[in-house]
């Protein structure tokens, strides 16, 4: 599995933690920045991770800003991107099972490292259920056109 990860300054510390956590599990990580706690603009990094997914060089994306809101709003402007803000594992479970989300968004200013690890684990280990949920995603794809 290969994951593209990105954050702004408010998500930098948690992004560094999650990156090391993923690598410790043998998961390949593409780190799209930011690379320091200096202030930056979150849309830049949402775009980089979204494009990695669109170009099919990774299986999933992870984005972290202060609240997760700016990253979610930006990433969902990209075609075929389904970014879900998940503040705890149950949200991550349903983001995959029902919404087939391909980017996990987390909140660096609201989540500690252990909660983030559990949320990541749940997101990566849960499969899409399909069925009636696929019909609803097809409806989203119609809107996208």
Residue closer to ligand RB5 by CB (options 34, 100) is: 34
- Catalytic residue status for 86: no
Total residues interacting with ligand RB5, rule: CB under 6 A: 8
- Tell me the three-class secondary structure of 55-102, residue by residue: CCCCCEEEEEECCCHHHHHHHCCCCCCCEEECCCHHHHHHHHHCCCCC
x/- contact string, 54-83, with ligand RB5 (CB under 6 A)?
Answer: -----------xxx-xx-------------
What part of residues 1-40 is at the interface with ligand RB5 (CB under 6 A)? 8, 10
Residue closer to ligand RB5 by CB (options 101, 124) is: 101
**Helix, strand, coil distribution of the chain in percent, nearest 5:** 50, 15, 35
Residues annotated catalytic, as ranges:
65, 98
């Amino acid at each position: 599995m290969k994951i593209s990860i990105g954050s702004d300054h408010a998500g930098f510390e948690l992004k560094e933690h999650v990156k090391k956590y993923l690598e410790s599990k043998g998961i390949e990580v593409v780190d799209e920045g930011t690379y320091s706690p200096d202030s930056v603009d979150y849309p830049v990094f949402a775009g980089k991770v979204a494009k990695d997914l669109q170009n099919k060089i990774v299986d999933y994306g992870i984005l972290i800003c202060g609240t997760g809101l700016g990253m979610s709003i930006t990433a969902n402007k990209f075609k075929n991107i389904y970014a879900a803000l998940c503040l705890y594992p149950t949200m991550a479970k349903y983001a995959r099972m029902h919404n087939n989300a391909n980017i996990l968004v987390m909140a660096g200013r609201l989540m500690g490292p252990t909660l983030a690890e559990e949320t990541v684990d749940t997101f990566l280990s849960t499969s899409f259920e399909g069925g009636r949920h696929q019909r609803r995603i097809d409806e989203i794809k119609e809107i996208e056109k």
